[in-house]
């Protein structure tokens, strides 16, 4: 979505400079300050900030772009560009915070999933593991194969190195989560707006945590995997903070918030986010690993309870798929076989149908004139949905 | 320290009700609200909040008590009880936040240390592991003994159950960390005070994270263990958020903050906190497990790099101690033998000497009249130091 998103991003109104470059500059300043501060403490701590900076500064900025674009759309519609210009600093603050929230979630998510790679390059944990031997590097990995007892593919990394790397990942996630709140708490807006923003942040964090908990519970088998639970997990884990949060934050910051608008944006965010996540599940199961940047078959190998799998569980093909699913030892030939089974049994088609359902629901939400959602905002959301559709092919 | 602390707590001035009960009530209200909110999401999420509530509501409240007592002492000295009374709500907010910060750190610390027990009862992770079989409970633990590849004593718990439990521990730590910031961000104080409080919170979190990182690095062998690093780790990991944060927050909230007072309180907090942590190391190495509530020899078994161990490393006795240290299989007889070696080699005496150094430095800090620290505040800090001394016997 991102590349297309970037290309077709709505033009901000002339009075307001809503460039993503300002968010990038803020992020660069933040990391530079933190690295400087960290150097006064300990080299290991400074190193952690440097690794995090390298990985975070190269992100795609989907969420801050969405916030900036949508704030611009609302500002243009309400023709209150002066008010809006006064709050551009606050918009950049919150857009920066939204990006750091994403980075924080990714760090903890990689710990939960045991991932050492993201988009084809080592993630923070992978970098720390690869980085060469600490004194205890030679400690043996127990036998028993590709998964350690935390349910994680441990590869050839020594346990102490992995433990160190994961600890650093958790701590860095904590630091970024703290910074997100600092940005929300300090941004220069009216008290009522800040309270609304803080409420929204709490809501987004709660839903993301519930979603993450369900995701892990589904994978570990502590939560039963049915399609409804998997869909709710997707909405909670991804849709809320990726779509609902930027959209509603933009409305608050643009002074366009109202209970009806909030409700419409929450619904629109859920539908867009769920469609986005379902697309992501399709792409990572059936797509080209060169394009989506994940290991081919890694979701299947790890036993990730995606909507595709939830659908396949309901079919007669499942007994053929189950032995390979989450086995941790899925090679390319077996991966391709499972992929074919998932297509044949109708799971792929079923998920495409779910995406269509979300798109229909989005159009219904936007067609409801009682929400008071400005036309330009509607158009922005519909344009987003179109780009999502394009991503299917 | 706590029981004595409770008994000899300074009386609040009559105009101001600084009872710890108000913090307790706030915590109870917070957890009740969160459990109610969680029930609307998923039973597994509500269950997590219930477990966390049970474990957090029974705490000793060392940090909020310190904040309340010190704010009362400053209020009495400055004779501005009216101003102080007006900000009692804010003091209770921040005292509550300080307790939740502690709870958040403990949750993540237990993940890093692989602990399933705290003070003799299962911690959040232990409770989730013990709670009975999920569908995958029967999954085998790899051979290779008491430590899994995350460097964690895995006991007999199945890998998936452990992974689920640790994930929940990390997520709950995140939720509490978020709540801490919400309390700081929303408390009704002047903007300048809120900025000071937010700065202080950021400082406390940074130092605690650096301390935790060093602690794990020392244990995993990625950071070299020398006495200076171990002491700095102790200060960062424990002293800052346990002593400096409540003391300085109290000064800000009581309107008694100034650069000189802040500096004096930062130093006093560091000395008190370091002495406290060194005492803790002595107690958990040599004390009665019935009293300190940890597993006997658990620090030795896990290879915890305490000041006692750092001192022992410098002695001729170390080669006799090293094979048992961090072996993961230390039984009672071997534990008692290592204990005796640590006494004989002078490590215990050395650490007692370090505590005396910190006490001397505390007295010097408090004797410096240029700080402008009110007399009543000095007395409170000296009384705290006396109680700490009493804890040695």
pLDDT tens-digit map of B322-335: 999 988 788 888 88
CA separation for the pair B171, A211 (Å, rounded)? 11
DSSP line for B9-77: PPPPPTT----HHHHHHHHHHHHHHHHHHHHTT-HHHHHHHHHHHHHHHTS--HHHHHHHHHHHHHHHH
Confidence of residue B369 (pLDDT cuts 50, 70, 90): confident
Chain A (148-207) residues lying within 8 Å, Cβ to Cβ, of chain B: 148-152, 154, 159-164, 166-168, 170-171, 173-175, 177-178, 181-182, 184-186, 194-195, 198, 201-202, 205-207
- Count of CA atoms in the C-beta half-sphere (13 A) of A177: 32
| Beta pairing partners, B121 | B118
A135: which chain B residues are within 8 Å (Cβ-Cβ)? 221-222
Give the mean model confidence (pLDDT) for residues B292-320: 83
User: How many angstroms separate the CA of residue B167 from the nearest CA in chain A?
Assistant: 6
Q: Kindly give the confidence (pLDDT) of every residue in chain A, 393 residues in length, as a single tens digit, with 9 standing for 90 and above.
A: 333 333 333 344 444 456 899 999 999 999 999 999 999 999 999 999 999 999 999 878 999 999 999 998 887 655 555 555 558 889 999 999 999 999 999 999 999 999 898 877 899 999 999 986 544 333 333 322 333 433 343 444 577 899 999 999 999 999 999 999 999 999 999 999 999 999 999 999 999 999 999 999 988 888 888 888 989 999 999 999 999 999 999 999 988 889 999 999 999 999 999 998 899 889 888 887 766 656 678 888 888 888 899 889 889 999 999 999 988 788 888 889 999 999 999 999 999 999 999 999 999 999 988 888 999 899 999 998 888 766 644
Q: Over 80: is that where the pLDDT of B392 sits?
A: no
Q: Is A75 helix (H, G, I), strand (E, B) or coil?
A: helix
Whole-number average pLDDT of chain B:
84
pLDDT tens track for B9-62? 334 444 445 689 999 999 999 999 999 999 999 999 999 999 999 999 987 899
Cross-chain Cβ contact A177/B175 below 8 Å: no
Write down the pLDDT at residue B144.
28
Give whole-number Cα distances, B154 to B55, B157, B334, in Å.
21, 6, 21
Confidence of residue B314 (pLDDT cuts 50, 70, 90): confident
Host H or E run for residue A118? strand A117-118
Mutate to test the interface with B, among A181, A224, A234 (most CBs of B within 10 A): A181
Shortest CB distance from A150 goes to which of B143, B162, B206? B162
Write down the pLDDT at residue B132.
62
B256 compared with A126, residue with greater pLDDT:
A126
Helix axes B227-234, B259-286, angle to 10 degrees: 110
Write down the pLDDT at residue B391.
64
> How many structural domains are present in chain B?
1
| Beta pairing partners, B147 | B153
For A56, counting Cβ atoms within 10 Å of its Cβ (0-12 exposed, 13-18 middle, 19+ buried), the class is buried
CA separation for the pair B229, B222 (Å, rounded)? 13
Cross-chain Cβ contact B220/A170 below 8 Å: no
Shortest CB distance from A143 goes to which of B111, B142, B170? B142
Give the residue numbers spanning the domain of B48. Answer: 2-390
Which backbone phi and psi does B254 adopt, to 5 degrees?
Answer: -85, 0
Kindly provide the ipTM of the predicted complex, given to two decimals: 0.86
CA separation for the pair A232, B41 (Å, rounded)? 10
Q: Could you tell me where the beta strands, DSSP code E, fall in B115-190? A: 117-118, 121-122
A167: which chain B residues are within 8 Å (Cβ-Cβ)? 112, 212-213, 216, 220
Tokens of B14: 């009559």
The answer to whether B271 and B263 have CB atoms below 8 angstroms apart is: no
CA separation for the pair A181, A198 (Å, rounded)? 8
Cross-chain Cβ contact B212/A167 below 8 Å: yes
Q: Specify the pTM.
A: 0.87
Assign residue A127 the CATH number of its domain: 1.10.600.10
The answer to whether B57 and B27 have CB atoms below 8 angstroms apart is: yes
**What is the largest distance, in Å, between two alpha-carbon atoms of chain B?**
66
Write down the pLDDT at residue A19.
84
Give the mean model confidence (pLDDT) for residues B111-140: 75
């Amino acid at each position: 979505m991102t590349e297309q998103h970037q290309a077709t991003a709505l033009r901000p109104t002339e009075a307001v400079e809503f460039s993503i470059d300002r968010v990038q500059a803020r992020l660069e300043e933040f990391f530079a300050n933190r690295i400087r501060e960290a150097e006064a403490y300990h080299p290991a701590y400074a190193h952690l900030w440097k690794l995090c900076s390298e990985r975070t500064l190269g992100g795609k900025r989907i969420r801050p772009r969405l916030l900036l674009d949508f704030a611009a759309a609302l500002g243009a519609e309400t023709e209150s560009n002066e008010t809006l210009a006064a709050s551009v600093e606050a918009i950049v603050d919150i857009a920066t915070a939204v990006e750091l929230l994403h980075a924080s979630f990714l760090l903890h998510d990689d710990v939960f999933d045991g991932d050492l790679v993201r988009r084809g390059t080592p993630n923070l944990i992978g970098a720390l593991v690869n980085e060469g031997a600490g004194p205890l590097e030679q400690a043996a990995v127990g036998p028993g194969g590709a998964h350690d007892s935390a349910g994680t593919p441990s590869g050839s990394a020594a346990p102490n190195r992995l433990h160190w790397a994961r600890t650093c990942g958790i701590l860095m996630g904590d630091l970024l989560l703290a910074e997100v709140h600092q940005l929300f708490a300090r941004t220069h807006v009216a008290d009522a707006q800040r309270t609304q923003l803080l409420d929204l942040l709490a809501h987004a964090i709660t839903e993301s945590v519930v979603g993450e908990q369900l995701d892990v519970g589904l994978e570990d088998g502590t939560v039963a995997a049915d399609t409804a639970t998997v869909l709710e997990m997707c909405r909670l884990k991804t849709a809320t903070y990726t779509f609902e949060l930027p959209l509603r934050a933009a409305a608050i910051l643009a002074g366009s918030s109202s209970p009806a608008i909030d409700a419409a944006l929450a619904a629109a965010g859920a539908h867009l986010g769920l469609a986005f996540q379902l697309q992501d599940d399709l792409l990572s199961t059936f797509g080209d690993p060169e394009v989506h940047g994940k290991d081919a078959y890694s979701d299947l190998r790890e036993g990730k309870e995606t909507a595709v799998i939830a659908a396949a569980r309901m079919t007669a093909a499942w007994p053929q798929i189950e032995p390979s699913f989450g086995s941790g030892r899925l090679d390319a030939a077996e991966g391709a076989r499972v992929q074919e089974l998932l297509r044949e049994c109708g799971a792929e088609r079923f998920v495409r149908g779910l995406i269509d359902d979300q798109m229909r629901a989005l159009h219904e939400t936007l067609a409801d004139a009682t929400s008071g959602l400005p036309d330009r905002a509607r158009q922005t959301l519909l344009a987003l949905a179109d780009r999502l559709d394009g991503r299917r092919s």
